[in-house]
Amino acid sequence: RGFAGPSSGEPASGVPVRAPMEETWRWWGPADGIRLSDVRQTGARGIVTALHDIPAGQVWSRDAILERRAIIEADASLGLRWAVVESLPVHEAIKLGDGDLEPYFEAYRQSLRNLGASGVDIVCYNFMPVLDWARTDLRFPLPGGGTALKFDAGKFAAFDCLMLGRPGAEADHTAEAIEAGRKWFAGASEADKDGLLATIMAGLPGAFDRYDIPGLRGMLDRFRNVDAARLLDNLSAFLRAVVPAAEEAGVRLAIHPDDPPRPLLGLPRVVSNAGNIARILEAVDSPANGLTLCTGSLGSGFGNDLPEIAARFAPRIHFAHLRNVVKWADGSFMESEHLGGDVDMVGVVRVLLDEQARRREAGDARWRIPFRPDHGHELIYDHGRPTHPGYPVIGRLKGLAEIRGVMAALAAA
Ligand code: DNO
Ligand code: MN
């Protein structure tokens, strides 16, 4: 059978059957404490990165893209390539749908053209207003000393109802979460509260914006007239404006789902379930309008069956984030081991391998679905090393190795 080796992502000779997906690794650029040579040691050869210094709304120039690409490829013996952009951020004005958006659309289109011309052809992005991902604990202790990212519905309710004091917030939390939140708040020190604010702010996109409570209230206020229907309209308008340019540039867009997949702090979210995804993909029916299948983000929502979602949208999945979660009835969830959680990871990987094989058998011999281990626990030597929350080296390497094993077993089956 056509098992092409763990990392190549290239079709084996002959008809590939369940060849492994391309292994990728998120690298935060030259400032990342994990070097490219370290990444190579994980086995992954696809680099997922972004020009994080360029603020949303500005064009990624050809020069800046080629400079980054040259860094990734500088040591040819490593065999690395820039596989995916994560993320090309969408300016908040586009999500607000306010004012003259044409310059923002054009800047996005130009970045896509420059990426395509530079040989980078998969672009992940998201459409979450204000906050990107949200957690309440960046280092929740695990047995034995590892730590995990966690979303505690009680603490989040305390933040929303008691610290932010958002009018009407109570209606957006379960009674259980509100009760747990009151208890937490009553026992919390000022430092605990500051810590919770900082943790929630860690999920803001980019390194630029951090808000205090009044600042955050101001940001939320800008979206007070944007409900889910309006946000979806704004997303559709964005797709109509940029997908044709992506097609021409040979670039495939891959929207990242909401993390977690539910409205937060009164902000609507519209990439949260299969119904949402279907509408987004139908808004512009083009292969260039695709999906990043993030199993952890979708998996923290109730009613999202991940193998089913993967199968339904398989032809439009251009990138996969594989991680797992355990969730509780009150809306809490925690990032779990990659194969140990509520998401049927083996089922998801099987669907993706079959889709890749199907495409290759249908004549698209180089079709590949890159994936990365999306987040990992802090384990062993990870402690005390500064990384982006969720991106320690050993925890991610463990996840990558486990998924690699699943792929090898399914290829041999
Ligand atoms: C967090 C990530 C997100 C993700 C963006 C994609 O670890 O999953 O920041 O990169 O939402 O646009
Ligand atoms: Mn993800």
Q: Which ligand is nearest to the CA of 323?
A: 2
**Per-residue pLDDT reduced to its tens digit, 60-69:** 999 999 999 9
Which of 137, 374, 377, 382 does the annotation list as catalytic? 374
Q: What atom of ligand 1 comes closest to residue 125's alpha carbon?
A: 12
148 CB neighbour count, 10 Å cutoff: 23
Q: What is the mean pLDDT of residues 41-57?
A: 97
Q: What is the pLDDT of residues 372-407, one digit of tens each?
A: 999 999 999 999 998 899 999 999 999 999 999 999
Instruction: Give the mean model confidence (pLDDT) for residues 150-169.
Output: 97
Q: Coil, helix or strand for 201?
A: helix
d(CA 348, CA 293): 10
Instruction: Select which of 160, 172, 294, 377 is catalytic.
Output: 294
Q: Which atom of ligand 1 is nearest to the CA of 375?
A: 7
Residue with tokens 């097609």: 247
Q: Which of 104, 108, 125, 391 is catalytic?
A: 391
Position 148 pLDDT exceeds 60:
yes
Tens digit of each residue's pLDDT (9 = 90 or more) over 4-25: 344 444 544 554 578 999 999 9
Lowest-confidence region among 206-215, 282-291, 353-362: 206-215
Q: Is 221 helix (H, G, I), strand (E, B) or coil?
A: helix
- Residue 242 CA to ligand 2 center (angstroms) comes to 22
From the CB of 256, is ligand 1 less than 6 Å away? yes
292 C-alpha to center of ligand 2: Å?
8
CB 112 within 8 A of CB 90: no
294 catalytic, yes or no? yes
Is 374 a known active-site residue?
Answer: yes
The pLDDT of residue 204 is 85
The H-assigned helical ranges of 250-385 are: 274-283, 295-299, 306-313, 345-361
Closest approach atom of ligand 1 to CA 389: 7
Q: Name the 3-class secondary structure at 397.
A: helix
Residue 33: how many other CB atoms lie within 10 Å: 12
Q: Parallel, antiparallel, or unpaired: how do β-strands 252-256 and 122-126 relate?
A: parallel
Residue 2: predicted pLDDT: 35
Q: Verify whether residue 375 is a known catalytic residue.
A: yes
Q: In the annotation, is 91 catalytic?
A: no
Q: What is the rounded average pLDDT of the residues 52-76?
A: 97
Q: What is the pLDDT of residue 5?
A: 40
User: Tell me, what DSSP letter sits at residue 153?
Assistant: H
In this prediction the pTM is: 0.94
Tens digits of per-residue pLDDT, 299-312? 999 999 999 999 99
Q: Is 238's pLDDT higher than 50?
A: yes
pLDDT of residue 32: 95
Give me the catalytic one of 321, 344, 377, 382: 321
Q: Which ligand is nearest to the CA of 295?
A: 2
- Mean pLDDT in the chain? 94
Environment of ion ligand 2 (residues, CB < 5 A): 294, 321, 374
Closest-lying ligand to the alpha carbon of 149?
Answer: 1
Q: Residue 234 pLDDT more than 60?
A: yes
For the beta sheet containing 46-49, the strands, ordered from the edge strand earlier in sequence to the opposite edge, are: 24-26, 46-49, 81-86, 122-126, 252-256, 289-294, 317-322, 371-373
Give the Cα-Cα-Cα angle 211, 216, 219 (nearest 5 degrees): 115
Q: Which residue has the CA at smallest separation from atom 2 of ligand 1?
A: 133
Return the closest-CA partner of residue 220 out of 163, 292, 176: 163
CA distances from 69 to 29, 118, 147 (A): 10, 8, 33
